[in-house]
Each structure stands twice: as C-alpha cells, then as structure tokens.
Amino acid sequence: MPGHKQNIILEGIYPPLPTFFDAREELDLATYQQHIANLVGTGIAGYVVMGTNGEAVHLTTDERTQVIKAARDVVVPLAGYLLPRQDALSGGQVSRGDALIIAGCGEQSTRATLANCQRAAQAGADAALVLPPSYYKSQMDQRALVTHYRAIADNSPLPIVIYNMPASAAGLDLDAATICILAEHPNILAVKDSAGNMAKLAQIVVQAPADFRVFAGNAGYLLPALSVGAVGAVAALANIFPHQVCRVQELFTAGRLAEARTLQAGLVAANNAVTTNYGVPGLKAALELTAGQNGLLKADCGHLRSPLQPLTEQEREKLLGILKSVPQLEER
C-alpha cells in the first residue's frame, strides 16, 4: 500500500461505455472498439468499462476480462498521470489519444471484489470502480462498509474509485461521513456519486483530503456539481454527446457561467432519457439513432442481453425527438 496518495484520476468527463452484443447476445468487441475510437478527440478524460451501463452483471468473468482487454487494445496508456490538463478554452493543447480506463469491479463479497480488481489490473485497467455490496443491505452499516473498502484498497493492485449509486445498490446510499473516512486511505482516490445530493457532494469536497476527487455520476447535474467542487463526471450522455458534456465543464472552468447554464439546461432532457427514464436500453437506442444512423457505428448496434428489452417504436420516436433538441456546438 503506498504511503502517499498520488492521484492518477484526472479531472474531466468519463463516459461509462455500454457493452455491445450481436443479435445472438454474444460480445461484439469490434463495435465496442469502434465506439471507443469514435470518442477519441472529443475532450473526454477516460473511459469507464464494466459499470452499470456496461451490463457487467450480465457478463461472465471471462467476458469481463475480454471487454477490458479490448478497451486497452485501443486506448493508449496515459503517460505522465500527474501532469495537469490544460483548458481547451485557454488555448492549451490536450492530447486525446491517451486516456484512463476505470473498470467496474464491485461484487457482493470483499473476496470476489478483490479478485475482480486483480483480473482488471492484469487486463490493463488503470483503476477499479467499486460499488458497495447491498444484498445484505440491513447489515451494511458504516463499520461493514469501511472494513470492506479498506480491505480491498489495502490489497488491490489498482487504485480505488468509490461508486455510490443507490439505484444499482438496492437503495444503499453511502453517506458523506463514510466516504470521507474512506478518502483518508492512500489507495482510495475518488468517488463517483450518482445520488444527486449537492449538499453531500459539497460536504465531501470540504471534509475529504484535498487530493481526493469528487465526480458527479450524471450529466444532468454536472454544472451544480462543479459549482460545489466536483472535478468532472462519469456521464452516460457523454457516449452520445461527448463534446457538449465536456463543453459544460470547459465553460465553467473559463468562468463563462451563463453559457454553461444554457448548455447544461439543454442536456437535461436527453440525459434523463438515457438514464432515469429508459436506462441502458435507452442509451443503446440513442446510439443507434445517432452514431448508427451516421455510419459511425453499425445501424443495429443496440442489442441488449436478456432480460433487458429494447425500447418500443413509440419510445424510440419520443427519444429521437429528445435527442434532436440537444444544442449543437459551433465549430471551434
């Protein structure tokens, strides 16, 4: 375990990548790698693989390894982790050919989570995203959760990003006090918080060590999160509109708050559609309706693994209208 925290988790926007399947529900790694390639140069800081949007719970252990390796094969490892990113609005040049890979590794037991961390490291991931165990939710008090995360952080070959997402953890919501205790660990570098509680995010920013990084878990409240001290987001919408999501943060950093507010407002409906309203089926349908129609991905790139079901035609038509309402950015 390192004695001093060196935070490799760069500020910025991380799209949580969907895992692509063919019509037989087998892995479609070629489309997966093409999607990653399409995101290069859009301003993102890295990729989250095997998260909620990656349908990790539907994959075997071997498939999870294949997906991480497939991402690593097309993502150049980031050299010089500690170099500060430069703001595109101030004329800085940011290399977008290299990026971090953060891999979802959370399981219901500490032992299984740690095994996933070890496999993810071998497959080429840079950090592990760990959702809290929730099957025995009534027993997951602060003592159990702190013990769980510390044991993983003590032994993981990868640094840890806490993943707080009540919707994927039976409603379990890590409180600020617990997150701040964990933030003291030198191998726990950041939190992705999808609860949407700005007061809690502000409390973590103030009370956690200065080198601990806080990320919003949703593009719908990116600007509010930045305003209380978050340094970016893991945002599903960035799979579809990466330029727009990254631009909100660029505008905020440049102090152009009126423009940032306008753009943020223009993203809310689309963000809700591919997260809260339609979930993973909505995200994949949105990719078919955008990248699939534009020839950047194959037209039927949105296959799901059962029991998830595709959107109805009526839902797709409604989603298309929402996607068309997203503000387009002028060429820069």
Q: Give me the active site residues, please.
A: 192
Which residues are bridge partners to 186 per DSSP? Answer: none
Cα–Cα distance for residue pair 270/245, rounded to 1 Å? 11
- Helix (H, G, I), strand (E, B), or coil: what is residue 232? strand
What's the 3-state SS for 116-185?
Answer: HHHHHHHHCCCEEEECCCCCCHHHCCHHHHHHHHHHHHHHCCCCEEEEECHHHCCCCCCCHHHHHHHHCC
* Residue 116 to residues 65, 71, 147, 298, Cα–Cα distance (Å): 9, 16, 18, 31
Alpha helices in the chain (DSSP H): 29-39, 61-74, 110-123, 142-155, 176-183, 198-207, 222-227, 242-253, 257-272, 279-287, 293-294, 313-324
Tokens of 295: 């020839």
Tokens of 252: 């905020």
- Helix (H, G, I), strand (E, B), or coil: what is residue 238? helix
On the CB side of 299, how many CA atoms lie within 13 Å of its CA? 1
Give the type of residue at 89: L
Interacting residues of 165 by C-beta distance below 8 A, sequence separation 6+: 52, 131, 192, 194, 195, 217
